[in-house]
Amino acid sequence: MIGASPGAAAAARRRPATRVTKFHTPEIVLGRGAFPEAARALAGLGVRRPLLVADRRLAATVWYDQLLIELRAGGLAPAVYLDVTPNPRATEVTAGFTRYAEHGADGLIALGGGSVIDTAKGVAVLASNGGLILEYEGIDRADRPLPPLVVVPTTAGSGADVSQFCIINDAQRHTKVTIIGRTLVPNVSVIDPQLLTTAPQEVTAQAGMDTLTHCVEAFVSLAHSRLTDTLAVEALSGVWTNLERLVQDPGDAEAGEEMALSSLRAGMAFTNAILGATHAMSHPVGGRCDAPHGTINSVLLPHVIRYNAQVCADDFVDLARAMGIDDSGPARSVADRLADEVAALAARVGMPATLTPLGVAHDDLDILTGNALADSCMITNPRRPDATEVHQLYRQAL
């Protein structure tokens, strides 16, 4: 794996040494065989009646049954909520909270990918803050401490297990809302690469492209730091080397471990550096077309790289170097090369080249543009676009 020197050098050049930054992360249990630690972590937080949040696909895996066994063996009395869909709706959060309240739950455990973990976070917000989940759109709106939350990610991509983000679909407005706050960081993340072996290959590819996007956007974010730069560069190297391997062979233990570690590093990077225009534009598409988040990112990211390169091309040279891409020539040319290579990787793992197959049409672009500009992730993009520029980026991606 390539080391962190490019990221450290870039950070030293772009940020004064005296800049004060914060860094937040949950307790992390990482490694093959870590899975049983989830039940012990929950009990250690004083939880006795947890709500287990998963989805129907996860309920058909061995991990779901094993987790229930572990919870009960630890003296806990779990209830279950499984009605979670990709791009979870606000109504699913409300239903999950109803199940939480009916059970008299005192904490949560999430088993799944980003949709499941975000749903569990949403339930936790309602459990301590009340109201409706869409009322918490924005930054630091949920100010009361959440009940204990332990998460067990089953994909290497969303970073939701270590992040302060919660993304929920507003079905009435046909967009996703971004909820951000330190209270949304889980208490414990238990990361066992063995769980990646049961993920469908297309899910692995989507999650991996989401991780890659986290790396790039965290590195160029206006809120980045030397610590997030280091994590982003190391994660990017890991994804670049191992994603294709894991998609082709879900049983590749080494690739699975490296992707799990890369997802963790990228998650810690972006939750502290925040993200950018790719995510700000992706969320409205996911809400309007109900398309997979990682797939949307894979289409948009090359276009956003080229757009942002007009103000931070040198940063993309550092990223290209970390990925082993030719970094000779003018910085803008290297950024274009990087964008081309990202698009090529996306194609190799089965992602579409445009947004059109996902259901996006020209008639959608005005409303998508407005929602993208209102997304909190746009605040930390290195280049602040106006409506004309966002509209043009969407058109380029069709």
Domain boundary among 191, 215, 245: 191
Please state, in angstroms and rounded to a whole number, the distance separating the CA atoms of residues 236 and 11. Answer: 16
Dist CA 124 CA 147 (whole Å): 6
For 144-202, write each residue's pLDDT tens digit. 999 999 999 999 989 999 999 999 999 888 889 999 999 999 999 999 999 999 999 99
Query: How far is Cα 47 from Cα 19, in angstroms, rounded to an integer?
Result: 39
pLDDT at 21: 78
Question: Are 203 and 91 members of one domain?
Answer: no
> What is the reported pLDDT for 14?
52
What is the reported pLDDT for 63? 96
Domain-terminating residue out of 161, 191, 221:
191
- If you search the block for the tokens 């939701």, which residue do you land on? 160
Q: What count of other Cβ atoms lies within 10 Å of the Cβ of residue 101? A: 13
Structurally, the chain folds into a number of domains equal to: 2
Kindly state whether residues 155 and 50 are assigned to the same domain: yes
- The residues, ordered by sequence, that sit 6+ positions from 384 with a Cβ below 8 Å of its Cβ are 378
Q: Which domain holds residue 120?
A: 35-191
Which stretches of the chain drop beneath a pLDDT of 70?
1-19
List the CATH number of the domain containing 69: 3.40.50.1970
Between CA 262 and CA 239 the distance in angstroms is 6
Answer whether residue 249 is part of any domain. yes
Question: What's the confidence (pLDDT) of residue 387?
Answer: 98
- 24 belongs to a structural domain: no
